Structure 1
């Protein structure tokens, strides 16, 4: 298996910018990648060229959304590694800076294909806006008092702090920007400053002067660089900052929010699983449940918001320990989006777990620190952040008790058996949970649903009313 650690590395990787339809190369600025400190160089930032001024309509403001969908669908046909030299180049650079191995990075390139079909795009817009017409023009309505108004989901001016934990994020972010027709500035992530431009170059080969491309700039600067952000994060240029990232990145973004400049934040989240007593009906059922739990816990080696880190199990100590032993076995398995041996747990986890080994039987530990997986059974939630395939299992007497461990920072909860989701979903929602799924299905999702408690595209646009009341 090829891993990041063994991949050959260039001395300095050249990262181009893409500014309003034009590819720009340069070696004016040098940075380091997030995970391994690999150097890469970029062109100089030319602020004035990054976006159309407010005195000008954006290039795609009046392009019918049907035409934009046509463009995205055509682009999707070329977004496969086998026939796209830009994605192939992006892959070779990404393996030099990513904590994920080549095999998993390759698999991520295939994920957005199912969401970039015509049916999927139209369905999502219909679920978000009710009608595609509101994106294309002013839709007249008459209220119960007879007053007439016209409403439009007007194209926005957005800065995107892009997610960097999966190359597929680049493809979905570009699609979101295109569908809302706005003026968009992408701040590419240091964990993957390559895929965004690779996708935009693909689009440029299809239609080099397309209004969507003239509406987009994709560039890199070091996150938190006030010399750049004090200039760009202003209401005179943009309406909203769409921010993905860890706690420090979101805190930095929040300080720029103010009148006329909104923050749409996709905060760092923690996910969990809840397993009912039905798992212990037979040894075969328990093995199946352990496999489903491992599927959810190991997504991107647990480097994803929707990867479960805590599992509440309805059962006595002996039953829960049987589950823990089986779960530990299934953590150390190669999967499409996980390694059998991933990155090893850090010092904080090692120190905490070593201390727990002396607290048996109240606490119990399965596994070592070799990256194949670690399970910690505790009477309550541990006070460290489980990561690198470390799972905290908590026994509960009743499934409803598990809701007390959920907070507003809990994104996804996988439940077994699925028939009992209705039993606890209101309690979980009250605690702040945003998504409830079948155990083993965290990486899957129905089209057109909300994300992080919102319909993102609904938040991206500017809702403007022409009112005759």
Structure 2
């Protein structure tokens, strides 16, 4: 069975290749995207995208040590880019994605980082307790019943709805999929069509025909396309769907969830900062913390889940206003993962902010709408979602007062000074927060530590018992 979008002229559309079980597939039968970012993809043959259950996946019995060898070589290949595939992927991404060149260049320069051997071994050790449970059956010797039993983290069959807000998501997806030995179908996001294919082509170059290479496919279809998803999202083919994205994307996938077909969701998240009155101990401290907080706000031009959108600051109105002015200045600088000038503020948000400007002194606004960053000071959080280098600074008497605004959608909480984390972290966790860091430390959730409140490798695999 085949499917495609309505055929359209493919002139000036950027060509996107598909990867089918390690092989590169080219074609331009389907054209997608807005006029300024059009791309063309091969026609999809749905039958080629599944691994039937009548035989094991290609890498089910491949030793973890061999898989790590291939991943490490893949990372080295990506760094060296001997065939120019990474460079070409970068250029194509700039034509169809929202991030500016210097952020994408930095991201691609570091795309090999997740393939580091020490990091790969760390993930297996911390999330699964060792490779033995992947390579075979781990003996459980201390059962209260005294019965002998064995468990295995069995290789899964997964569909991945990959997020496109940062190229590193594709790298993490491939690494986690490889370590769990399963078969993996990656749905390419429209805002990052080229990273995953480049990684899988690198893997095919270092290990042509290897079981791991044959365990991955990566294709594009329009999210929510029932013709595709109703055919693929079935327990006869896959165990789980691993979904990143916003609320609408998660809800779209959820309708297919049922017995035998599970959802592993990296839900949409919002991150915050909590800054104690110690920040005002000296002008030097204030300047340094404002700079670190600006880094947290502008991460990937505020497109990352870990980007701070609300900051709760202890102090008088005069003190908090001084902080806000410095924060806005430091948002207006180039960084490896942020632009001094980002996208212009959309008209709807401009109207919201203009309304607040008329409510001084209860509200105060710094910055403009040209992409230089906007800071809004208030006594309660604004009732809209700050986005596109907009941050709401909320004045509080005590950081404990801010915890009532934390919920299960709160991913990362940056805290200053670090010593106050120990007093806050249990209450933050109880309210729903999943990660507590020092201010300025929002970037780079370390693979091997919990992500969005769970250990991904543990959730990806199928846990099977052999008892008695």
TM-score (norm 2): 0.96
User: 1:275-424 alignment to 2 at 5 Å?
Assistant: 275-424=275-424
Trace 1:244-255 onto structure 2 (pairs within 5 A): 244-255=244-255
Give the alignment of 1:440-459 within 5 angstroms.
Answer: 440-459=440-459
- Deviation digits for residues 270-301 of structure 1, max 9, x if unmatched? 00000001000011111111101101000011
- Residue 86 (structure 1) aligned with residue 85 (structure 2): yes
Tell me what 1:431 maps to: 431
Q: 5+ unaligned residues in a row in structure 2: which ranges?
A: 1-9
- Encode CA deviations 1:289-330: one digit per residue, 9 max, x unaligned: 110110100001101100000000011111100100111110
- 1:276·1:399 contact (CA, 8 Å) conserved in 2? yes
Instruction: Count residues with an aligned counterpart.
Output: 458
Separation of aligned partners in 1, 2:81 and 2:45: 35
**TM-score computed with the length of structure 1 as normaliser:** 0.95
When residues 193 and 445 of structure 1 are mapped into structure 2, their CA distance, relative to the original with a 3 A threshold, is: closer
Q: 1:447 to 1:22 in 2, by over 3 A?
A: closer
- 1:188-235 CA-partner distances (Å, limit 9, x unpaired): 111111111111111111111110111111111000000100000011
The 8 Å contact of residues 297 and 309 in structure 1, kept in 2 or not, is answered as: yes
Contact 1:299 1:338 (C-alpha < 8 Å) held by counterparts: yes
Tell me if 1:238 matches 2:238: yes
Structure 1's consecutive aligned runs of 4 or more residues displaced over 2 angstroms after TM superposition are 80-84, 110-115, 444-447
Task: For 2:419 and 2:314, locate their aligned partners in 1 and report how far apart those are by CA, in whole Å.
Answer: 15
Match of 1:39 in 2: 38
> 1:201, 1:256 → 2: CA distance?
30
For 1:185 and 1:147, the matched residues in 2 are separated by 39
Separation in 2, partners of 1:217, 1:447: 22
Q: Does 1:189 align with 2:178?
A: no
Q: How much has 1:82 moved relative to structure 2?
A: 5.7
**Which residue of 2 is the match for residue 141 of structure 1?**
140
CA distance in 2, matches of 1:425, 1:311: 16
Aligned equivalents of 1:451, 1:283: Cα separation in 2: 36
Distance in 1, matches of 2:81 and 2:299, equals: 24
Q: Single out whichever of 440-449 and 218-227 deviates more from structure 2.
A: 440-449
- Stretch of structure 1 that moved more, 194-203 or 274-283: 194-203
* Match in the other structure for 2:152: 152
What is the CA-CA distance between 1:83 and the residue it aligns to? 4.0
**Unpaired runs of 5+ in structure 1?**
1-8
Q: 1:97 to 1:281 in 2, by over 3 A?
A: same
For 1:62, the equivalent position in structure 2 comes to: 61
- Cα 1:192/1:81, change in 2 over 3 Å: farther
Q: Does structure 2 conserve the Cα–Cα contact (< 8 Å) formed by 1:272 and 1:310?
A: yes
1:220 and 2:205 aligned: no
2:5 maps to which residue? none
Measured after TM superposition, the shift of residue 110 of structure 1 is 3.0
Aligned-pair CA distance for 1:417: 0.3
- Using the alignment, how far apart are the partners of 1:368 and 1:139 within structure 2? 59
Q: Superposition RMSD on alpha carbons, in Å?
A: 1.4
Checking the alignment, whether the CA contact within 8 Å between 2:415 and 2:437 is kept in structure 1 is yes
Aligned to 1:102: 101
Question: Is the 2:163–2:169 Cα contact (8 Å) retained in structure 1?
Answer: yes
